Chains A and B, each alone.
Chain A
């Protein structure tokens, strides 16, 4: 029982990062290469922290406010990013994250600056996190099976084809940005109300890289990809704990190895292999093509 309890912080981290991973996943699924969700998480986290500590608002209100702040900024971010494509979109969204980070550092009297915003009561436990994480997975599966998921896939695969079917690509991606913002804001709020303090650098380049690794390593098309990615990369440092100093190196080597041998990510590669086995024609076509 004691050992089980000792894994609880790790499980909490897994649940929070699962939410972050899905907020990244949903924009990639819609064909937008934005990494701005980390900035949106920061906005959600600070919104929830400030409303709780300075204004004493109850938990449901602060969570709602954090999620809505993420959604609103996500919608705003969608407008300029719609003009950009590919890596330019990624860099512009990176600039957005840096602007949020610097603004949080600068606005010391509101955010606490570099020292961070502390003294947040711990209002969120494993149960709450689990409920929100399960709800998120449900929503992701529902979207996949709906017209929205089909529109996301069409826009990602071939924008010209998607518009020829009457899909408004800019609007479709804007919806993805809003869902991403909602999740980022919500899980940012949960993070703030779970860990006593938030500080600006927590939502920076490092977190972007971690979250992107979850999604790309796990698989960025299947709903189960991010789940597998988060589970693996959160568990890895624990499993390799005996290796002490070499842990980071092992982590790096595993990222390299998985990408080398499963370039689409774990789940998507496995799905592709299974389809290929079930459809012998595919192999034929590949040989011909």
Chain B
């Protein structure tokens, strides 16, 4: 039973990772907190659902959702952030601007869904349960795990093994130096926002399938969890976000299973608070040495 909960937690954690990686990508590279990320995730779920309802096969709907969410993310970069980057006031103004973008997405979804909770048709994904060593694993869980692994591996390959990825990481380390070296910022922003949106879109469809519930407000709780994962994992760290997401998924599943679900949030956020006090830059973060108060 305990092992079963661990497996369930890992699968959920994998989906959290897809959501959180996109969020941490933007934060780590551009130092922008994109509060519209929850809305992009929700958009992915809606595109997936409407594609299936239009009669397309699930795999195609999944791909369309990823591309659609990626494009929405790029549009948000252009409309909500591009002008702010030049103003030197990005930290706060980008927060509010992305809240605005999120509201636009939420409002469109609310009108489309008429404030209803929507579901995928019953037979969208075959209900098959495998039993391995006494553990029950559904085909959907298996598919979620495989897709999460593939996408995370793809992202790592992209960031660490390709020329584009090298440029992106150069911008993350020192945007000005990278620009002097001839890297065009608009190209970088396009890539990171596209990738970030695609991952969120994938997470949206998977979450919609797993919980069989899609609604216009589904992004908010994920955004909260995204914060937790990003901070615990250290900003911009792919490996950190992955480990933190999986740990978070397991922790949440276990605390819901063995304690009250209402205690689960107290534990998770209490833990986050404690971790930040012990490691002011996150579990895997590097010391940014910004403290000037005492003698160093």
Contacts and interface: CB of A to CB of B under 8 A. Distances in A.
A112 B220 CA distance: 24
Contacts of B227: 91, 94
B84 A259 contact: yes
B15 to A, nearest CB: 20
A160 B235 CA distance: 25
A255 B235 CA distance: 27
Contact of B97 (A88, A92, A103, A260): A260
B270 interface: yes
Chain A, interface size category, equals 35 or more
B272 interface: yes
Q: Is the interface of A mostly helix, strand, loop or mixed?
A: helix
Interface residues of B, number: 53
Given A84-B276, A85-B291, A159-B293, A256 B93 contact: no
A118 interface: no
Given A85-B291, A255-B96, A256-B80, A99 B276 contact: no
B123 to A, nearest CB: 33
Nearest to B103: A252
Nearest to A106: B262
Contacts of A217: 96
A102 interface: yes
Interface stretch (B56-64, B106-114, B165-173, B198-206): B106-114
Contact of A85 (B93, B223, B277, B290): B290
Interface string A160-202: 1001000001100000000000000000000000000000000
B292 interface: yes
Contact of B84 (A85, A220, A247, A260): A260
Interface of A: 80, 82-88, 91-92, 94-96, 98-99, 101-103, 105-106, 159-160, 163, 169-170, 205-206, 209, 212-213, 216-217, 220, 245-249, 251-257, 259-261, 263-265
Given A80-B273, A259-B93, A265-B93, 14 more contacts: A84-B280, A87-B27, A87-B33, A91-B272, A96-B269, A212-B95, A212-B99, A216-B96, A246-B111, A249-B103, A252-B102, A252-B107, A255-B100, A260-B97
